[in-house]
Amino acid sequence: MLKALLLENLHPQARSILETAGFDVTTRTGALDEAELVEALDGVHLLGIRSKTHVTAEVLAQSPSLVAIGAYCIGTNQIDVAEAASRGVATFNAPFSNTRSVVEIAIADIISLTRRQTELDRAMHDGIWNKSATGAHEIRGRTLGIIGYGNIGTQLSVLAENLGMSVVFYDTAEKLALGNARRMHTLDELLEAADIVTLHVDGRSGNAGLFGAKQFAQMRPGAVFLNLSRGFVVDYASLRDAIVSGHVAGAAVDVFPVEPKRNGDPFESELRGLPNVILTPHTGGSTEEAQEAIGQFVSNKVRDYLATGSTTLSVNLPNLALEQQPGVHRLAYLHRNVPGVLAAVNATLAEHGVNIEGQLLATRGELGYVVTDAGARVDPAVLEALESRPESVRLRLLS
């Protein structure tokens, strides 16, 4: 029986789908460090995580039974996806399932900060009545600057315009502007134009330290700042200085360079206690609707990969869309992308009298993936011959 380990309090749908597919599923609520993860992965074929568990090269090297990883979130920077690919471990994520949830909390944060709701709320809880319009503004007519115009940034752009905002954006890749949004050619141009600056960049290492003292100084006086993307992108000590000085009027932060592994663990940040600052525990995409959708999406992807070999939307393997074919025996052969592999596979099959019912090949960088459907049971000698080839990465027989 295939074994699955699901960490970090995934939605019950994730477990239900896998158990229905015949997996022996173990769940844990928190994240695991490297040593704990290696121990827990003994004999495990499928690992499901969110953002706090790091799957390093060392973890992968010591987990030979691991076949697939499901990242039940948008990002995969917590996984060494290149090393996983080199070991034949398919990785899947959920790039779209919680987009709406992040966009909605961004809109809520923007309105709350612009109206200084955090300070009014704190005063009321302290028993102080202070009815005043000072420092409170409508978002209509103000300019929203979006850094990172991907799935979240584009949807936020559309909703912000519907609320009467002007939108400018900056992205290092060429992106189509939606609605009346205007592309800024440099980050400096965006910071000079925006009343609200919000980050929605991905977790690539090149984004580390993207926003620091220089960028905060370039923001318009009285602007507000949001980071719902990655914690390591922002220098939070510089953000604190900008808020204390009054140059930045408020901030909403959902992600941090170091985050507690488990609920209830202590949280420390230089941003605690500052006025007009909203701090949330990495819950931008954590709505019940989003978590259910993510649980369904990722579990279906990893289930299908293990059952049929389908790699559609895998982040690190060549993509092939496959369905289960009754009455065939499927060979899923992941190999190094060198000339002559397909010919060698077919020659090996022919030598052993295997009739090919269907075959597909895809490549991605240094890897190739050839899936062959045979009309009869495949002799173990065929598997031994293919696995012994120098270009072999992983061979699975699915029948």
52-101 confidence digits (pLDDT tens):
999 999 999 999 999 999 999 988 989 999 999 999 999 999 988 889 99
Better pLDDT: 51 or 218: 218
Q: Does 263 have pLDDT greater than 90?
A: no
The single residue of 282, 303, 330, 394 carrying the catalytic annotation is 282
Domain 1-97+288-317 and domain 99-279 have a common topology:
yes
Delimit the domains of the chain by residue range. 1-97+288-317, 99-279, 319-399
Our answer to whether residue 262 is catalytic in this structure is no
pLDDT of residue 120: 95
- Sorted by sequence, the CB contacts under 8 Å of residue 44 that are 6+ apart come out as 3, 4, 5, 63, 65, 66
Residue 280 confidence class, pLDDT cut points 50, 70, 90: very high
Tell me the per-residue pLDDT of 158-181, one tens digit each, with 9 for 90 and over: 999 999 999 999 999 999 999 999
Closest CA to 113 of 275, 242, 254, 239: 275
| CATH among 3.10.450.40, 3.20.20.80, 3.40.50.150, 3.40.50.720 for 1-97+288-317 | 3.40.50.720
Percent pLDDT > 90 in the chain is 91
Q: Does 239 have pLDDT greater than 90?
A: yes
CA distance 7 to 49: 5
What value does the mean pLDDT of the chain take? Answer: 95
In what side-by-side order are the strands of the sheet with 392-398? Answer: 356-364, 367-374, 329-336, 392-398
pLDDT of residue 399: 76
pLDDT of residue 324: 84
Percent pLDDT > 70 in the chain is 100
Q: Are 95 and 66 in contact (CB under 8 A)?
A: no
Q: For the residues 374-386, what does the mean pLDDT come to?
A: 93
CA distance 113 to 165: 15
Closest CA to 164 of 91, 203, 110: 110
- Quote the Cα angle for 354-357-358, to 5°: 120
On whether the pTM is more than 0.85, the answer is no
**What fold is seen in the domain 99-279?**
Rossmann fold (3.40.50)
CA distance 246 to 89: 49
Fill in the DSSP letter of residue 347: H
| CATH among 3.30.43.10, 3.30.70.260, 2.170.190.11, 3.40.190.10 for 319-399 | 3.30.70.260
pLDDT of residue 212: 97
Q: Are 198 and 187 in contact (CB under 8 A)?
A: no
* Residues forming a β-bridge with 329: 374
Q: For the residues 377-387, what does the mean pLDDT come to?
A: 94
pLDDT of residue 364: 96
* Residue 121 C-beta-side C-alpha neighbours within 13 Å: 10
The single residue of 115, 116, 142, 230 carrying the catalytic annotation is 230
Residue 134 confidence class, pLDDT cut points 50, 70, 90: very high
pLDDT of residue 62: 97
Cα–Cα separations (whole angstroms), residue 376 to 278, 354, 361, 381: 62, 7, 20, 14
pLDDT of residue 384: 96
- What φ, ψ does residue 97 adopt, rounded to 5°? -70, -30
Q: Are 168 and 153 in contact (CB under 8 A)?
A: no
- Sorted by sequence, the CB contacts under 8 Å of residue 1 that are 6+ apart come out as 22, 23, 24
Closest CA to 32 of 11, 2, 63, 3: 63
Exposure letters 289-312 (e unless 16+ CB within 10 A, then b): ebbebbbbbbbbbbbbbbebbbbe
The single residue of 189, 259, 292, 391 carrying the catalytic annotation is 259
Q: For the residues 363-386, what does the mean pLDDT come to?
A: 94
Question: What is the phi-psi region of residue 135: left when phi exceeds 0, alpha when psi lies from -120 to 50, beta otherwise?
Answer: left
Helix or strand or coil: residue 244? helix
DSSP secondary structure string for all residues of 261-300: SSTTS----TTTT-TTEEE-SS-TT--HHHHHHHHHHHHH
The alpha carbon torsion through 181, 184, 190, 193 (nearest 10 deg) reads -60
pLDDT of residue 325: 83
Closest CA to 338 of 361, 359, 315: 361
Our answer to whether residue 192 is catalytic in this structure is no
Q: Does 30 have pLDDT greater than 80?
A: yes
Q: Are 373 and 361 in contact (CB under 8 A)?
A: no
Our answer to whether residue 230 is catalytic in this structure is yes
CA distance 90 to 130: 57
Q: Does 360 have pLDDT greater than 90?
A: yes
pLDDT of residue 232: 95
pLDDT of residue 310: 97
